[in-house]
Structure 1
Amino acid sequence: MKPTSENEEEKRGNGYSIDFSSAWRNGRKLPLDERIKLFHVSLQNQEEADKHLYMRVIDSSTDRTVIAVDADGDKKEMLMFGSNNYLGLANHPHIKETVKKAIKKYGVGIAGPPLLNGYSSLMKELENRLSQLKGTEDTMIFTSGYNANLGLLYGLCTPHDLLLADEYNHASFFDGVKLLRGKCITFGHNNIGQLEDLLKTHKPDGDLFVAVEGVYSMDGDLSPLDQIIPLAQQYNAHTIIDDAHGTGVLGFNGEGIMEELRIKWTNEIIMGTFSKAFAVNGGFISGSREVIEFLRFMARTYMFSASLPPVTIAAVLAGIDVIENEPWRRVQLKKNVSFLTRKLKPFGITTPPQAGIISLNVPQDANIRKMANDFNREGIFLNAIEFPAVPADKQRFRISISANHTNDDLKKLVDTVELIWYKHNIVCND
């Protein structure tokens, strides 16, 4: 495989629906004022209804339903299938009560980084709880999962090292590679054969890393870590695992991808976020005590960022309580995923889902924006993933499922998909 090009990295991280290709001429960016003008021309050329597909206003708590602005600009209750609130923790009474107590005791902020005045007793407690959950020796907390990936790569890797990465890794990983100015070669998604060929043929001057995700965010499929970790160990490569969508969701105890595949932690470096199952913001890295202590002083996004506010840390701690004490949520989530997988299979599921995400493929000749507006009007809030965020032939609707969704919610979603597929003349599989 070729090293990842800058253009390919930019396409991976671009979640906008507007085609900005006209803003580049012969590979050179236009002046800022010209790029801004082109951007606003693109916005003006959109149909009025399309403007509600992104930055949609929500005027309620996030749960199985929300009050949101629809495609016609009206507020109404909608079924929420666009949030990564997999376990329904965003509006959980225990978490809200814990946050109230935290505000009363600790206030709303710290105003400093962890290495100075930002290392609170709550943060220390959360690091210990996360280490127990992930089965590792130590953990450190970042202000976002994005910053965790940037800090991890900048802190651990050098330009002499080589990163072998799944082509479907998150944009924050590839941005970390660019920040590092490191060497990165991508291999085909979950292609163990290509990965092994790369491990055999590349001997870097420095260290060798293999970077994958536990659950891939676009399709919801799992990484074959039970094959990747032994392979990486065979070639003395460090394994980096982004378990953002697996933490709290997978495994009997909610540990994540490692527990789901019955893999015991040895020395892997595990990244996760609080913006998925925990439904707040922030990120973390778990691993050996030596690696984590090293990163506390070498990860610039940790050293130069103010700590998460105590209320957010309290919410995550309370979320761990729920993960431990209400395992039925993971069971119900799996039941909901299983039901939708059966019912939506004829409509073009991109990959058999294994966590809380289902993606429905949209034919290239279909108008995904008109379909998205139809979902809005029918009271279904979900996310359209269109070019250039993905290739033109891989546009899809990404459905996020919650343990709080009822059978009636799921049936309403299925009926709406059937209605819209029929309206847009999309042929279903038998």
Structure 2
Amino acid sequence: MSSDLPTADLESVASTNNGENFSLSEFFRTEAPTLQGRVRPFSEYFRESRAKGLAHYGREIVSAVSNRVQVRGIDGATREMIMFGSNNYLGLTTDPHVLGRIREALEVFGAGVGGPPLLGGTTQLHKELEHRLSIWKGSEDTLLYGSGYQANLGWITTLLRDDDVLLYDELNHASLYDGIALTAATTHFRAIRFAHNDTEHLKRLLIRARKRTAKPNRQIFVVTEGVYSMDGDLAPLPRISELCREYGATLVVDDAHGTGVMGKNGHGTSEHFGMTGGIDLCMGSFSKAFGMTGGFLSGDREVIDYLRFCSRSYMFSAHLPITTVAGVLGGMEVVEREPERIVRLQENAAYLEAGLSALGFKTFREAAIIPVRIPVDLNIREICREFDAAGIFLNSIEFPAVQKDGQRLRLSVMSTHTREDLDIAIDAFERIGRKTGIIADAAA
């Protein structure tokens, strides 16, 4: 085994703190002799935080998820809030055409399929969705999964073999990390992180991996995301694709937050960069722009055929319910007929980001996700409580989801946000920012 490659092990898999790969259980370990004793420290911590109004998790939404939602608070009272915590970027969850598509499908196919895809669970609608997604992604075929999480587990556990090398961005989703850990239990491959969006680091690793994989049966996989969910920044896909071609690596892109949002037609981050069809294997999710659930993999027909019969997370799961398939198809039709939704989404995101930056907040935008950094010496939970009281529904991202100096508020923008919604949010940020000291610190 070559010594010029870093050793891939599960310690490296677990050591990256980012908003998509962490486990709170690591912070509440106890040697209690009972199961109740094992979980009690976390339960007590959470209940105390909730009693103080500092645990804004699992808030109960009692209306359709749109730009304005009805939320039942900890005190049991229901009130309207402006939603900046949903990935329903295009407002498709309440679109009349989408809902009509779902109602029509229910009448024809019923509510579910009652079986896995290979054994009676595939309908005409499932095949139609696979075909439509293949066109969007410029690929030969597509495979549908119960979730994006299952899709990542599915390809990693199926395609990686002994002595293969997997190079992945350190900020990839937890499902990739879990797929690596699961595969490592039975397969002797190398999984090596490269620094976030650092193509020079990736190049060095590819050079070393190429030397090590001289045998033709050994494969190199490079995995990145199109749009990263915590900061909304884009991967430098053209350069990564160029490196993969140069060094004979298979490029896999997790485009969960790009599909439906990025590119003129919403086909994804590859379309945004003018390289549709330049991805070997593209993973996506229906839980973001389409407001549903489920995931997919698009690629060459031979690869998809292999996964269809060999991917355990596909074979041993019931197929997507009819409501989901019909809803996604309806959403794709809306995007194709109304590309102005994508334009409006980007305009809304740009307007909100400009307003926050003008006030002195540390923020950033490349897609529809806007992170607002909060100085490490401020209590982000208390700040989130202020926004909750102001009727602004957003999410706080704190340690251990990110490093202690990387805590942030995360805003997801929708095309259905009105200018009034955005102005109210900007006013709330100014008022709360001055009250808590965020703006002063950010501008110093």
**Do 2:252 and 2:283's aligned partners in 1 also have CA atoms closer than 8 Å?**
yes
Q: Does 1:82 align with 2:85?
A: yes
**Do 1:151 and 1:299's aligned partners in 2 also have CA atoms closer than 8 Å?**
yes
User: What letter is aligned with 2:206?
Assistant: L
Relative to structure 1, is the Cα distance of residues 40 and 138 closer, same or farther in structure 2, using a 3 angstrom cutoff? same
CA distance in 2, matches of 1:264, 1:63: 30
User: What letter is aligned with 1:283?
Assistant: G
Structure 2 gaps of 5+ residues are: 1-5
1:308 pairs with 313, 320, 336, which one? 320
Relative to structure 1, is the Cα distance of residues 53 and 93 closer, same or farther in structure 2, using a 3 angstrom cutoff? same
CA distance in 2, matches of 1:383, 1:127: 33
User: What letter is aligned with 1:304?
Assistant: F
- Displacement, 1:159? 3.9
> What corresponds to 1:357 in structure 2?
369
- Displacement, 1:267? 5.3
Q: Does 1:299 align with 2:306?
A: no
CA distance in 1, matches of 2:194, 2:74: 39
Structure 1 gaps of 5+ residues are: none
After superposition, where does 1:81-160 map in structure 2 within 5 Å? 81-160=84-163
> What corresponds to 1:325 in structure 2?
337
Q: Does 1:398 align with 2:410?
A: yes
2:420 pairs with 404, 408, 419, which one? 408
**Do 2:55 and 2:381's aligned partners in 1 also have CA atoms closer than 8 Å?**
no
Superposed CA offset, 1:374-427 (max 9, x none): 111100001111111111111111100000001110111111111111111222
1:169 pairs with 169, 172, 188, which one? 172
**Do 2:18 and 2:171's aligned partners in 1 also have CA atoms closer than 8 Å?**
no
CA distance in 1, matches of 2:267, 2:435: 42
1:187 pairs with 191, 194, 208, which one? 194
TM-score by length of 2: 0.91
CA distance in 2, matches of 1:37, 1:284: 38
> What corresponds to 1:383 in structure 2?
395
**Do 1:164 and 1:210's aligned partners in 2 also have CA atoms closer than 8 Å?**
yes
CA distance in 1, matches of 2:322, 2:131: 16
Superposed CA offset, 1:11-69 (max 9, x none): 765667x67524157xxx98644321222222233251436500110000011010002
> What corresponds to 2:43 in structure 1?
40
- Displacement, 1:309? 0.8
User: What letter is aligned with 1:263?
Assistant: M
Identity across matched positions, percent: 43
> What corresponds to 1:21 in structure 2?
27
> What corresponds to 1:335 in structure 2?
347
Relative to structure 1, is the Cα distance of residues 108 and 233 closer, same or farther in structure 2, using a 3 angstrom cutoff? same
- Displacement, 1:235? 0.7
The aligned length equals 425
- Displacement, 1:213? 0.2
Q: Does 1:198 align with 2:205?
A: yes
**Do 1:19 and 1:388's aligned partners in 2 also have CA atoms closer than 8 Å?**
no
Q: Which 10-residue stretch deviates more, 196-205 or 311-320?
A: 196-205
CA distance in 2, matches of 1:429, 1:306: 52
- Displacement, 1:369? 0.6
Relative to structure 1, is the Cα distance of residues 120 and 347 closer, same or farther in structure 2, using a 3 angstrom cutoff? farther
CA distance in 2, matches of 1:267, 1:7: 27
Relative to structure 1, is the Cα distance of residues 97 and 361 closer, same or farther in structure 2, using a 3 angstrom cutoff? same
- Displacement, 1:270? 0.2
Relative to structure 1, is the Cα distance of residues 383 and 109 closer, same or farther in structure 2, using a 3 angstrom cutoff? same
Relative to structure 1, is the Cα distance of residues 348 and 189 closer, same or farther in structure 2, using a 3 angstrom cutoff? farther
TM-score by length of 1: 0.94
Q: Which 10-residue stretch deviates more, 420-429 or 272-281?
A: 420-429
CA distance in 2, matches of 1:132, 1:50: 47
**Do 1:70 and 1:377's aligned partners in 2 also have CA atoms closer than 8 Å?**
no
3-state SS, counterpart of residue 260 of structure 2? coil
CA distance in 2, matches of 1:55, 1:422: 28
> What corresponds to 2:264 in structure 1?
252
> What corresponds to 1:344 in structure 2?
356
1:239 pairs with 245, 251, 254, which one? 251
> What corresponds to 2:443 in structure 1?
429
CA distance in 2, matches of 1:347, 1:217: 23
**Do 1:110 and 1:309's aligned partners in 2 also have CA atoms closer than 8 Å?**
yes
